[in-house]
A and B are shown apart, each in its own frame.
Chain A
Amino acid sequence: EDQVTQSPEALRLQEGESSSLNCSYTVSGLRGLFWYRQDPGKGPEFLFTLYSAGEEKEKERLKATLTKKESFLHITAPKPEDSATYLCAVQGAAGNKLTFGGGTRVLVKP
């Protein structure tokens, strides 16, 4: 059974204080690891897909990396508008099903 664990559960940052979120996973035959951003009361917004260990993707202040056991979402010099819950999900070999982690709530204070 695929499993995803995200840590920490919550993160409070000062504006400009860089940090990293962790997504540890076990999956049989990784087809893709997905990062989403979710604002309160809204649907998740797609950020990145990573397919193989060593791959990195960037978007503005966000950078996602992938190893064989975990993925990191690095937030560089965050701004208050980066406050959100960040969700990680994996897709294994069996079809399109995504298994989600519990998310990391990020609060960036000015």
Chain B
Amino acid sequence: DGGITQSPKYLFRKEGQNVTLSCEQNLNHDAMYWYRQDPGQGLRLIYYSQIVNDFQKGDIAEGYSVSREKKESFPLTVTSAQKNPTAFYLCASSMRWGTSDEQYFGPGTRLTVT
């Protein structure tokens, strides 16, 4: 079955620690995205990647970093510089950049930082 996997489903970290969230897709999609969702709010774009070895900042990139070394993988690191990291993180992909292809989402990772 083709799809997007995110791991882990739940993640707990102490304040001051960096943490990396995994996102893998086997849809052969060029474009990948990371969003953050907070209760009662819409999804906000953190980073996106048009193609392998390329990525761009979204609307709320401060305190986050990404890499895109393989087409299938787009991991997100939440650094200690992110002031309010507790949230639900969603990874998505779409077939190509620059089109109106729909984005498909993974199941999400809920990060709690205490």
- How many chain B residues touch the partner (CB < 8 A)? 29
Number of A-B contacts (CB under 8 A): 63
In the complex, are the beta carbons of A87 and B43 less than 8 A apart? yes
- In the assembled complex, the Cα of A103 lies from the Cα of B41 at a distance in Å of 8
With contact pairs A43-B108, A44-B105, A46-B104 given, residues A95 and B43 touching in the complex (Cβ less than 8 Å): no
Tell me if B42 and A100 are in contact (CB < 8 A).
yes
Please name 14 pairs of A and B residues whose Cβ atoms are closer than 8 Å in the assembled complex, sorted by A. Answer: A9-B40, A34-B103, A42-B107, A43-B4, A43-B108, A44-B90, A46-B104, A46-B105, A96-B98, A97-B45, A98-B43, A100-B44, A101-B42, A102-B42
Question: By the criterion CB–CB under 8 Å, are B104 and A32 in contact?
Answer: no
Q: How large is the interface on A (under 10, 10 to 19, 20 to 34, 35 or more residues)?
A: 20 to 34
B84 CB–A CB distance under 8 Å: no
Decide: B48 and A4 in contact? CB cutoff 8 A.
no
Is B43 a contact of A32 with CB atoms below 8 Å?
no
